[in-house]
Amino acid sequence: MVFYKGIAISGGKDSYTMAWFFCLFQKHAGWIHVNHNWSVESLNNAFLLHSFGTGIKQKICTVVIKREQTETKSRELRYLSWLHIANIENYTSIETAHHANDSIESIIHFFLRGSLSSGIHSKLLILSTSFPTVKIILNRPILHWAKWQVETLHWNWQIPCIKDLTNNMLYIKRNRIRTQLIPFLAYFYNPFLEKSLWNLTRNNK
């Protein structure tokens, strides 16, 4: 039996690198791009991504969703979009480019919410009442890679990418955690903060 994978690709270094990795070693895979309409650059992002995908004969599906102000609602719509495409394309899993540094952000995010019980594992099952018969495994194949390792592969392979301007939007909580809170804690409290938190994510399985 052939298992088809959906590759979630945003257009940044992380997802492009993972997508290219699958192009090299996994033939039965298609790209899924969710356009959140967060900025004008979203359209340019989608256009360039399609141009690159078409150039290497890669199948790609794009879903455009309405802009949401909350991360939680955006994530719900993104997951629903993945399920919709997976149902159409018969994908058995969705692969995302979350890496170790993302897990560090997640553990702080969940800690601030008073929970460490979810969101940082390598595999999750995503379900929706909109698609009651569809059960998709959410894989995070590069979860144990540090961001510098992903960037090294990206540079070595000379993969194109698009600068995600939404990473600079400080009204998004994760951006504040990454650009403000983590550097502050590392500077004033623990210079090895990221390593310590990464060890914590590995123990929280």
For the stretch 102-157, pLDDT in tens is: 888 888 888 888 775 555 565 566 655 555 666 778 888 998 899 999 999 989 98
Q: What is the mean pLDDT of residues 5-21?
A: 87
CATH 3.50.50.60 fits domain 5-203:
no
pLDDT tens digits, one per residue of 25-61: 876 788 999 887 776 677 777 888 888 888 888 888 8
- Looking at this protein, which amino acid is placed at residue 21? F
**Confidence at 1, pLDDT banded by 50, 70, 90:** very low
pLDDT tens digits, one per residue of 60-72: 888 888 776 677 7
Report how far residue 61's alpha carbon sits from residue 15's, in angstroms, rounded to the nearest whole number. 15
Q: Where are the domains of the chain?
A: 5-203
Q: What percent of the chain has pLDDT over 90?
A: 17
Report how far residue 102's alpha carbon sits from residue 147's, in angstroms, rounded to the nearest whole number. 8
| 115-149 per-residue burial string, b: 16 or more CB within 10 A, e: under 16 | eeeebbeeebebebeeeeeeebbbbbbbbebbbee
Sheet holding 29-35, edge to edge: 60-64, 29-35, 5-8, 93-95, 136-139, 123-126
Report how far residue 55's alpha carbon sits from residue 48's, in angstroms, rounded to the nearest whole number. 10
